[in-house]
Structure 1
Amino acid sequence: MKNILIPIDFSSTSHKALEVGASIAKRINAKLVLIHMTGLEEGLNGKNNSFEQAIYYSKVVGKKFEELNELPFLDGVVVEPLMQKHLDFEGINDLAKDIDAALIVMASNGSSGITEIIKGSNAEKVVRHSEVPVLVVKDNDINFAPERLLFASDFNIEAIKAYHRMVEVATILKARIDFLYVNLPGKNFKSTSELDETLLQFFKEVNHPDPVKAINTVNRYADYTVEQGVMNYAAISGADIIAIPTHGRTGISHLLQGSISEDIANHALMPVLTVKM
């Protein structure tokens, strides 16, 4: 049985991730592993946090997990609740690997402005550090019934690992894969022949059965930034999920270069799948 990991804080936003996770679990007979991070470990040294209060809060969390199990969309789904005393969204990756998770489903309200620059969203932190594919969903009315997964890439050799993992998730979701290359003005612009050469090399390396034919399946869209191009094309193409590789940059490298995948996960209204390169 496959495992799907879902960080949950019992908000309506995380309930959306739970609903999406349940939909996937029913498709593939998977177990949902729910992790709630209490932050108790950080607070026990404070004046207002006693050991008794920690025990009380643990019981409250247990009760909330019991209430979740009563949600109609979880009927027939195997659910395993976990509680972690410390807040560590960056460490979700370790837990995902420990339980051999096939996918992390994470809900996000997104972030913008100064909050995005300084802090980012919790989903961003998970995306940045996770070696397990992460599906980021928003708390909106979009019905999760994916049929078309749009894989946006530069199709360089370093994206090969991400491609294979994306194919695995698309298979799990039973979704068709569409390909997208965003052509930018300036030094990153590629002519048709240059792009064809890049695509041919890529599809050969991923052992596509017909690399020449595969070249013609890649949609080419011109825009001023990759983020704009991906979201604009996704909106007009009828895609249900945007899938994009991520470098998972951290530290000063992340501050200087940012991450296209994190920006798209933050700003897109439709679900976004990020896969580590």
Structure 2
Amino acid sequence: MKNANILVPIDFSELSYKALESAVTFAKLFDGAITPFHSYVSMSDVDIPETSKSSEKLFKDHEQLEKKLAAKLDQKASQYVDSEFLNKGMIQVGNPADAIIEAAQNFDLIVMTTHGRTGFSRLIMGSVAEKVIRFAPVPVVVVEEKSSIAPLEKILLTTDFSEYSLKAVPFARSIAEASKARLDIIHVVSFEQFGSIPQIQAATDTKKKQMRELVEERFSDMKDLVKTDVVSTQRSIHEKITKIVHKGEYNLVIMATIGRTGLEYLRLGSTASNVVRHVENAVFTVNPRRLKGADKKS
């Protein structure tokens, strides 16, 4: 993630500025640059009689609006981001989620909040954030009002050892390496998947072996920063992860949005979607199917 280009969508709500503050942490870690971004619905969507004069007025009004938005975006961003990390803001016409996803093609990371002007509870994830997490070609960091990334000292990485979930590993490694933060890696064994205690124990032993192999293969040169655990639960996997997150006071949770099942993000029962909804910590999500270069080995 060296020289990371970071896209930060802003809707001018107070909560959306939290994303700017959080993005600074990543910019500092990776010598990155932050580009504030705002999209708006085109004035052409307004029902105006089609005459040459009205079209000319619409064009002028559009130009005026875009200039005002650009000035406001740059002014607001400068309040939260030092100039050395700040690029000129981007203004784009269109549906916010679609505009962010399109713009992300030229970036390495998106940092955004779950809600903006609406201010709904995180339990009801905003439609913009939901769509961006599901379809963005780059990782998406979701932050909330109470998220506290800096100083970055504790990171949690979840894995089920599937090819999909392992796509999050390089990001976890690079962030932990750059920040010198402690990296906890966990796997959760659910009782629902097995019919007896001996089966659960056997599965746990197998997963512990896989965990040791993962550390040897991916983190052998930084073992002093890595701590692992394989835990079991009678509840759902996302409830166990949420409990671990709350107890561990992590600055950042890293997880793939698709795991062993291969189901698309945010289908009913998705572990990642439920974790994002139920924790106030920053969550770094990676969609392994949409990720640029996803066909390459993680």
TM-score range, shorter chain: 0.7 to 0.9
Partner of residue 45, structure 1? 45
Taking only aligned residues, the RMSD between alpha carbons, in angstroms, comes to 3.3
Partner of residue 67, structure 1? 75
**Kindly tell me: are residues 4 and 171 of structure 1, through their superposed partners in 2, closer, same or farther at Cα, counting changes over 3 Å?**
farther
Q: Deviations over 1:167-217 (max 9, x none)?
A: 23333444321012223222257623323323434654682466xx99982
5+ unaligned residues in a row in structure 2: which ranges? 49-56, 289-298
Aligned length: 265
**Kindly tell me: are residues 53 and 188 of structure 1, through their superposed partners in 2, closer, same or farther at Cα, counting changes over 3 Å?**
farther
Tell me the SS of whatever aligns to 1:191: helix
Aligned-residue offset at 1:150: 0.6
Which of residues 176, 179, 193 is equivalent to 2:182? 176
Partner of residue 76, structure 1? 84
- Percent same amino acid among aligned pairs? 25
Matched, 1:138 2:149: no
**Kindly tell me: are residues 144 and 113 of structure 1, through their superposed partners in 2, closer, same or farther at Cα, counting changes over 3 Å?**
closer
Partner of residue 52, structure 2? none
Which of structures 1 and 2 has the bigger CA Rg? Answer: 2
Partner of residue 2, structure 1? 4
Return the TM-score normalized by structure 2. 0.75
Counting only pairs closer than 5 Å after superposition, residues 1-277 of structure 1 correspond to structure 2 as 1-40=3-42, 43-47=43-47, 50-71=58-79, 73-90=81-98, 92-99=100-107, 101=108, 103-109=109-115, 120-140=126-146, 142=148, 144-187=150-193, 191-201=200-210, 204=213, 207-208=217-218, 217-247=228-258, 257-277=268-288
Segment of structure 1 superposing worse, 186-195 or 27-36: 186-195
Tell me the SS of whatever aligns to 2:104: helix
**Kindly tell me: are residues 16 and 221 of structure 1, through their superposed partners in 2, closer, same or farther at Cα, counting changes over 3 Å?**
farther
Instruction: Work out whether residues 180 and 221 of structure 1, in 8 Å CA contact, stay in contact via their aligned partners in 2.
Output: no
Q: Deviations over 1:137-179 (max 9, x none)?
A: 1023746322111112222343222222332333344432101
**4+ long deviations beyond 4 Å:** 110-116, 213-216, 252-256
Aligned-residue offset at 1:235: 1.3
Aligned-residue offset at 1:26: 2.6
What amino acid is the match of 1:82?
M
Aligned-residue offset at 1:46: 1.6
5+ unaligned residues in a row in structure 1: which ranges? none
